[in-house]
Chains A and B, each alone.
Chain A
Amino acid sequence: DTAVSQTPKYLVTQMGNDKSIKCEQNLGHDTMYWYKQDSKKFLKIMFSYNNKELIINETVPNRFSPKSPDKAHLNLHINSLELGDSAVYFCASSSRTFVGANVLTFGAGSRLTVL
Chain B
Amino acid sequence: DAKTTQPPSMDCAEGRAANLPCNHSTISGNEYVYWYRQIHSQGPQYIIHGLKNNETNEMASLIITEDRKSSTLILPHATLRDTAVYYCIVSPGDQTGANNLFFGTGTRLTVIP
Chain A contact residues, CB within 8 Å of chain B: 4, 30-31, 33, 35, 41-45, 48, 50, 55-56, 58, 90, 92, 94, 96-109
Q: Is the interface of B mostly helix, strand, loop or mixed?
A: loop
Interface string of B28-41 (1 = CB under 8 A from A): 00001010101001
Instruction: List chain B positions with a Cβ less than 8 A from chain A.
Output: 32, 34, 36, 38, 41-46, 49, 51, 85, 89, 91-101, 103, 105
Q: Identify which of B32, B38, B51, B101 contacts A104 (C-beta below 8 A).
A: B101
Q: How far is the CA of A45 from the CA of B98 in the complex (A)?
A: 11
10 A-B contact pairs sorted by A residue (CB < 8 Å): A33-B97, A41-B85, A41-B105, A50-B97, A97-B95, A99-B95, A102-B34, A102-B89, A103-B49, A109-B41
| Contact call A58/B93, Cβ cutoff below 8 A | no
* Contact partner, A58, options B85, B97, B100, Cβ 8 Å: B100
Query: Is the Cβ of B94 less than 8 Å from the Cβ of A106?
Result: no
Q: Is the CB of B100 within 8 A of A56?
A: yes
Neighbour of A43 across the interface among B45, B92, B96, B103, CB < 8 A: B103
Q: Which residue of B lies closest to A103 (CB)?
A: B46
